[in-house]
Amino acid sequence: MSLLCGEIGRGVISPSFVPNDGRLIHGNELLAKIHADYKEHLTYRSSQHTVSRVAAALNNIKGLPIGWNAPAEVKDALGGFVGYLMLDALVSNQDRHHENWGLIESPKHGLRLAPTFDHASSLGRNERDNIRRERLESKDRGRGVEHYCGRARSGLYKFLKDKKALSTLVAFEEAAKKRPAAGQYWLIKLKSIRFYDFERIFSELPEEVASPFARRFALKMLDVNQKRLLNLLEVV
């Protein structure tokens, strides 16, 4: 799907990251093996999909994505997953349900964290330009982009009986508490990115993929979310 225009018909084709001798184990399959009562077929709004459960499932898995030279601060799959959640918070990805992360198992590489995938529900993709413009220009704090970013929900929960998923920011913060060194590493990497780096990327998109208002809106979201995340540097 088109990331920013919200139009039906556009798509992306990429090479498979699963080796020929391997298979992808989705998060729901992994969690169902650990928790007998886990409802693996309930994709959305599953409060069983908690940060603690995901962290426990990844806790003893040392394998990181195939071909990635991990820094010393990211020692295992959980540390890598913390980075995925920071990315979610940066782009306001609201689709990190239990089939949108996983592990790769293969005889050659063993058991490893899969690369992060499926970030289409991000950066206000489904909004129309009139709504984007309204939020960009609104003087009402309840209609502005900052408020919009704050409403972004992860596919992860804190407690089993919660009715509402964690915000993308809090999901990252909760996971980072379990791997503080990795959390700090990812935030410091984020701090090194300048706004013009985002602008340069968006300047390369043709207008039929991202309208001027789509670009402005997405860039504003990135600016807001980066600042919100970097406020955690003293906390994580």
Task: Give residue 62's pLDDT band: very low, low, confident or very high (50, 70, 90).
Answer: very high
Structure token pair of residue 34 = 């650990």
Residue 100 gets which letter from DSSP?
Answer: S
The pLDDT mean for the chain works out to 94
CA atoms 138, 214, 83, 99: torsion sign: positive
Task: Give residue 18's pLDDT band: very low, low, confident or very high (50, 70, 90).
Answer: very high
Portion of the chain with pLDDT greater than 90, in percent: 89
pLDDT for res 1? 36
Q: Helices in the chain by DSSP H: which ranges? A: 27-34, 51-58, 77-91, 129-137, 145-150, 168-176, 180-191, 195-203, 212-230
Tell me what the mean pLDDT of segment 140-148 comes to: 96
pLDDT for res 235? 78
pLDDT for res 214? 96
| Beta bridge partners of residue 34, listed in sequence order | none
- Interval 201-232: pLDDT, tens: 999 999 888 999 999 999 999 999 999 999 99
pLDDT for res 8? 52
pLDDT exceeds cutoff 90 at 97: yes
Give the residue carrying structure tokens 């920013």.
4
The distance from CA 146 to its chain's CA centroid, rounded to whole angstroms, is 18
Which residues neighbour 159 within 8 Å (Cβ) at sequence distance 6 or greater?
47, 50
Tell me what the mean pLDDT of segment 126-136 comes to: 96
Angle at 173 between CA 168 and CA 179, to 5 degrees: 130
pLDDT exceeds cutoff 70 at 2: no
Tell me what the mean pLDDT of segment 26-39 comes to: 97
pLDDT exceeds cutoff 70 at 111: yes
pLDDT exceeds cutoff 70 at 123: yes
Is 92 within 8 Å of 225 (Cβ atoms)? yes
Tell me what the mean pLDDT of segment 177-189 comes to: 98
Tell me what the mean pLDDT of segment 164-189 comes to: 98
Tell me what the mean pLDDT of segment 147-161 comes to: 97
Alpha carbon distances (Å) from 160 to 93, 101, 154: 22, 19, 15
Distance separating alpha carbons of residues 25 and 97, to the nearest angstrom: 14
